[in-house]
A and B are shown apart, each in its own frame.
Chain A
């Protein structure tokens, strides 16, 4: 099923939405290959997210400056959540005020880029899991990053101005992460969703509960928008949001049946037939999703990160994705 917006090709780089709104896309949208946005009005500019490392972010900023004078100096950065592929490049915007949900700022601090680098350094000793980890995160230059944390924290829905334009920041987490926040620009009939939407790839449910994610999808579906920029994958329409919602409802049902049947989260992940979602990328994320959902259903504790990546490496090896 084609979930991309018919008006926009899924190609790397800058896409003009119109009226001073832009998206920056990084196909194929897999681990770390995130999207971001630019909103301008008058001489003011706001970024929705930066990228995983400094070289990627500088490329993006150069394209923004080419497109808009107002992007010569970025006034405001909004981070939709704390994962590094949405905030590591904050340090490329030295003059900007950085806005994020309080939980986003806290978790950013707990997962600094140095930690990713230390994991990559350890990866050669970690067998198949290390290879898998390196295949996901090896392409990025974490040594280039100096973490720049948010300086303006929000706890609830907040409106910020870009020139005369309103940007509504709408916290919807915890879902993908604790601080998930949508950036809705009514004047441009556009919403930047961060990782509440993965289009054409399996969403990662790091946090849950899944119901918050479903509610977030409903919130987007109720908006008066034409253009929806996901955290990963092509620009989409409400049909894409419906598919992500459908994924959440389906997988929660599938996972719950297996939890109640006494399976482990890993058994459940391998047992669930992905059906209509089988051709979405990064299928092994079903492992994390089952672990998180089992915890939500009442399972004791959450597996540690090495166990999750080991299980994902097993899944990816057992079920190689067709291109």
Chain B
């Protein structure tokens, strides 16, 4: 039984026919790392937001289920759903520079969920925060907890956000391109850190990225999204050795291989894109009958 299972999730812009998600189904088993790839605008972030309940007001869910640990989130009243998500899920955001509240110290930003939502004692929460900061290799956690975000570097802030995500021992973490906003040199360290933390805590991870190279290193399975439609759902070995969908094949050919970073690349051809479009639209039509 999967920890998270999304079934036939559809979403669109309010009052418009534009589909943002088209009957998306995907599963994340407990402790599993699933990659979510697709071109920009494919709807990757929307899936994450739908799970966490942070969709923009202009977007409405038109059908489907999001089942977290056996409970359908979409069937719950808003308040219950919020506390459930707060207790069982966490987000590692994309941009560490904007994801910390500039007017509050770091310490409370890590401990607030533990104290306010999970009713830990303040002392326990602070001890937990210190341990986690040490675990993500922040020197002098005491001092950092008393700092304001603008006093810290981007890499440090992302470490803090990772620590904060793991604070309540969530069963599922959603990481939405957690390294794109960082320096190339820092990116690798942060990726390693996320992978290590995930392994140590046994947390399931939904990893949103553009980078197939990263996917091959971090993930166990993978969903390929195109225009809000899941084209392929495979394990990593399957995907890299025998991708099922022509679009996936083209995507692979367009990605530099980490074994051979200078090898020749072919961009995804217009023909493949047109064929994929047509397939998505055909699937849409058949779903509406």
Query: Is A bound to B?
Result: no
A residues lining the B interface (CB < 8 Å): none
